[in-house]
Amino acid sequence: MGRDPLAFLLGLRDRYGDIARVPLGGETLYLFSHPDLVRDVLVTNHRNFHKGRGLERAKMLLGEGLLTSEDEFHLRQRRLSQPAFHRQRIAAYGAIMAEYAASRRDRWHDGAIIDAHTEMMALTLAIVGKTLFDADVEDEAAEIGEALTTTFESFNVGFFLPFGHLLARLPLPATLRFRKARARLDATIYRLIAERRRSPSDRGDLLSMLLVAQDTEGDGRGMSDLQLRDEAMTIFLAGHETTANALTWTWYLLSQHPDVEARLHAEVDAALGGRLATVDDLGALPYTRMVLAESMRLYPPAWIVGRRAVAPFDVNGYTVPARSIVLACQYTMHRDPRWFPAPDRFDPERFAPDRHAERPKFAYFPFGGGPRVCIGEQFAWMEGVLALATIAQRWRLRLVEGHPVALQPIITLRPKFGMRMHVAARKRRSLGAATSEG
Ligand code: HEM
Query: What is the DSSP track for 241-272?
Result: HHHHHHHHHHHHHHHH-HHHHHHHHHHHHHHH
Looking at mean pLDDT, say which of 7-11, 150-154, 176-180 comes out highest: 7-11
Q: How many CB atoms lie within 10 A of CB 177?
A: 16
Q: What's the pLDDT at 190?
A: 85
5 lines ligand 1 (CB under 6 A): no
235 lines ligand 1 (CB under 6 A): yes
**pLDDT 10s digits, 85-114:** 888 888 889 999 999 999 999 999 999 999
In this prediction, residues 116-129 reach a mean pLDDT of 91
Position 409, amino acid: P
Atom of ligand 1 nearest to the CA of 51: 16
Q: What's the pLDDT at 240?
A: 86
Q: Of the candidates 238, 140, 221, 147, which has an alpha carbon nearest to the alpha carbon of residue 184?
A: 147
Give SS3 for 164.
helix
Atom of ligand 1 nearest to the CA of 365: 10
- Ligand 1 midpoint to CA 300 (Å): 12
**pLDDT 10s digits, 318-353:** 999 999 999 999 999 999 999 999 999 999 999 998
Q: What's the pLDDT at 162?
A: 45
Q: Do residues 174 and 157 lie in contact, with contact meaning Cβ atoms separated by under 8 Å?
A: yes
CA distance 385 to 79: 27
Q: Of the candidates 26, 28, 30, 25, which has an alpha carbon nearest to the alpha carbon of residue 13?
A: 30
In this prediction, residues 381-387 reach a mean pLDDT of 98
DSSP secondary structure code for residue 82 in this structure: G
Position 302, amino acid: A
Q: Is residue 73 over pLDDT 60? A: yes
Looking at mean pLDDT, say which of 13-27, 103-117, 210-224 comes out highest: 103-117
Looking at mean pLDDT, say which of 10-24, 74-88, 424-438 comes out highest: 10-24
90 lines ligand 1 (CB under 6 A): no
Residue 291 to residues 246, 298, 372: CA-CA distances in angstroms? 11, 11, 25
Residue 418 — very low, low, confident or very high, per pLDDT cuts 50/70/90? very high
Give SS3 for 138.
helix
Element (H, E) at 79: helix 71-81
Any idea which of 90-94, 142-146, 379-383 has the lowest mean pLDDT?
A: 142-146
Ligand 1 pocket test, candidate residues 362, 374, 375, 386, most atoms within 8 A of CB: 374
54 lines ligand 1 (CB under 6 A): no
In this prediction, residues 222-239 reach a mean pLDDT of 84
Residues in the chain: 438
Q: What's the pLDDT at 188?
A: 80
Q: What's the pLDDT at 156?
A: 54
Position 24, amino acid: L
Give SS3 for 14.
helix
CA distance 92 to 159: 39
Q: Which residue has a Cα nearest atom 39 of ligand 1?
A: 372
**pLDDT 10s digits, 345-359:** 999 999 998 888 899
Q: Of the candidates 239, 263, 264, which has an alpha carbon nearest to the alpha carbon of residue 382?
A: 239
DSSP secondary structure code for residue 277 in this structure: P
Any idea which of 25-29, 263-267, 300-304, 367-371 has the lowest mean pLDDT?
A: 25-29
Spell out the alpha helix ranges (H) of 199-314: 206-212, 225-238, 241-256, 258-272, 286-298
Give the phi and the psi of residue 90 in degrees, each rounded to 5.
Answer: -65, -40
297 lines ligand 1 (CB under 6 A): no
Q: What is the pTM of this model?
A: 0.91
Q: Is residue 435 over pLDDT 50? A: no
CA distance 133 to 120: 19
Residue 361 to residues 24, 43, 124, 305: CA-CA distances in angstroms? 30, 11, 28, 16
HSE-up of residue 416 (Cα within 13 Å, Cβ side) = 8
Residue 194 — very low, low, confident or very high, per pLDDT cuts 50/70/90? confident
CA distance 185 to 63: 13
Give SS3 for 406.
coil
Give the pairing type, strands 318-320 and 19-24.
Answer: unpaired
